[in-house]
Chain A
Amino acid sequence: MSGSVLYDVPGPRAQARNRLLGVITILIVIAFFGWVVWRFYDTGQFTAQKWQLFGYSTVWRRILDGVIATLSAFVVAAAGSLVLGFVLAIGRLSEHAWVRVPIGWITEILRAIPVLVFMMLLYYGLPVVGVKMEPYWAVVIALVAYNGSVLAEVIRAGVESLPRGQSEAGYAIGLRKSGVMRLILLPQAIRSMMPVIVSQLVVTLKDTALGFIITYQELLYVIKFLGSSATYGSPLIPAALIGGSIYVAMCLALSYLAYRLEQRTKRRQQANAVDPMHHPVAATTDTELIGLQHMTDGSTGNEGGGFPRLPRRDGH
């Protein structure tokens, strides 16, 4: 972050002031954590009784089951929402209004429904009309519906941000609509939108925790269960600390992947962004070769537009 444009390189007075403010910030943070630790200590969160529960391997197996339940809901929901995202995106990009308009409405409505309400509808509402489902499927379907519609918008934005020449070139070489979409537009859109897609998957992972509210036995449910065992003095805070760290670790790992992808995309864009005025292209480009071919049958080779033609060389 060095070299922000918002402020100058600090002089002696600014340095002293920044140091003072820095010390104050540290003091506030230390005071906050000190307060938290003091409250933990004061209410007996550090007693051996509260942590005893986490010395048993069966308890850890239970926690592992919770993690697996969370991850299995996440993996299925992520795959499903990617599929749904592509279907809705392609539908919304369709040239036929009878496809585009209804799919647009479905996408907007799915995005507007809170995930939890959708889960409740599937789990509590549908049994009224005779459709019973496991909480697992309620969680997965609701996550697919919501994240799929969000991903659809992301993919659509990616396709629409491509220059028009891309699809025009595709049609020009004789591809059909499906070919242009599949071979030209989608690969580029996915590549440029990859960081956004992965961060949406982080949202999916986070939202699996909503399953706790509709009694899906994922990690948070296990934490609550372990935290309420009265024989060990209801170790709710230790359980929440352990489970919370597992959640944050999983999400951070996925977020880090998104960050790395973003850095890579940025680097590639910088590498590609060559200013033709200051970095003259190599003497023989593809464009020029095509121009040269034209000239052999008498045309000037200047119709193509683009860069001004380089001086003509002999010997072709």
Chain B
Amino acid sequence: MGVITDNLDLWGEAIGGTLVLFFGGGLIALVLGLIVGGMRVSPIPIARAVGTVYVNWIRNTPLTLVMFFFAFCLPIMLAERMSAILLATVALGVYTATYVAETIRSGINTVPVGQAEAARAIGLTFGQVMTLVVLPQASRSVIPPMMSVFIALLKNTTVAAGFSVLNLGSVRSWLAEPPRSENQLVVLLWVMVIFVVLVLLLAWLQRVMEQKWRIAR
């Protein structure tokens, strides 16, 4: 316990870093994912193709590599120093957006065909079909899998530890410098406990929502 109580400020900063990565990355992922998911079902063939290429490309790239590009290559390209946590957040957002897009797309696919057909039959345009009929229904079946995406995002924030961002994944290297290296095990076990608690909490929330939002079709 001493490892935590003696270094409260550092643990606070580390949790803060994880939360910034989680919420910042989640926000970017939601916005970008909505756009890409929309592109993937849109009537414009080129937009569909661009969306497909983006999703397939990024989903088949390891997150570590995406973050590598953002953390090491982007500053070289722009020829200026950038804050590590900002770069890591954007990388997480860009990576997670593909999962958000796929979740939205498969959510749209769960809406029965007749709904969209009926909406078209009364003369709604594509935008109206989506915003008034399909998306409100899709959002209910999207929420549980979306929670899984965010649980994965929370766990993925630790990858930023490899790119000099202070978060729960890197708290080990700050608290267990060579003279105190016997702390490593305890620190890592605490990090593990924190993650297990947070993830199980989110999973419980997911189950509650799933039951509350369940639809009879």
Contacts and interface: CB of A to CB of B under 8 A. Distances in A.
Interface of A: 1, 4-8, 10, 14, 18, 21-22, 25-26, 29, 36, 39-40, 42-43, 45, 108-109, 111-118, 120-121, 124-129, 202, 206-210, 212-213, 220, 223-224, 227, 236-237, 240, 243-244, 247-248, 251-252, 255
Contacts of A247: 60-62, 65
Interface of B: 39, 41, 43-48, 50, 56-57, 59-65, 68-69, 72-73, 76-79, 108, 113, 116-117, 120, 126, 129-130, 134, 155-156, 158-159, 161-162, 168-169, 172, 176, 181-182, 184-185, 188-189, 191-192, 195-196, 199-200, 203
A25 B46 contact: yes
20 contacts: A4-B43, A6-B126, A36-B77, A43-B76, A112-B195, A112-B200, A114-B195, A116-B159, A117-B168, A117-B169, A117-B188, A125-B185, A126-B185, A127-B184, A209-B62, A223-B68, A224-B68, A227-B72, A240-B73, A248-B60
B42 to A, nearest CB: 8
Nearest to B115: A5
Given A108-B200, A213-B159, 13 more contacts: A4-B41, A29-B50, A114-B155, A117-B191, A128-B182, A206-B61, A208-B62, A213-B64, A220-B68, A224-B72, A244-B65, A244-B69, A251-B60
What secondary structure prevails in chain B residues at the interface with A? helix
Given A7-B129, A29-B50, A121 B185 contact: yes
B177 to A, nearest CB: 12
What secondary structure prevails in chain A residues at the interface with B? helix
Contacts of B57: 248
Contact of B78 (A6, A21, A39, A120): A39
B195 A117 contact: yes
A207 B68 CA distance: 14
Contacts, number: 162
Nearest to B53: A29
Contacts of B176: 124
Nearest to A21: B44
A10 B43 contact: yes
B43 A252 contact: no
Contact of A252 (B60, B63, B64, B130): B60
B43 A213 contact: no
A39 B43 contact: no
Contact of A212 (B64, B126, B192): B64
Given A108-B200, A125-B185, A236-B76, A22 B60 contact: no
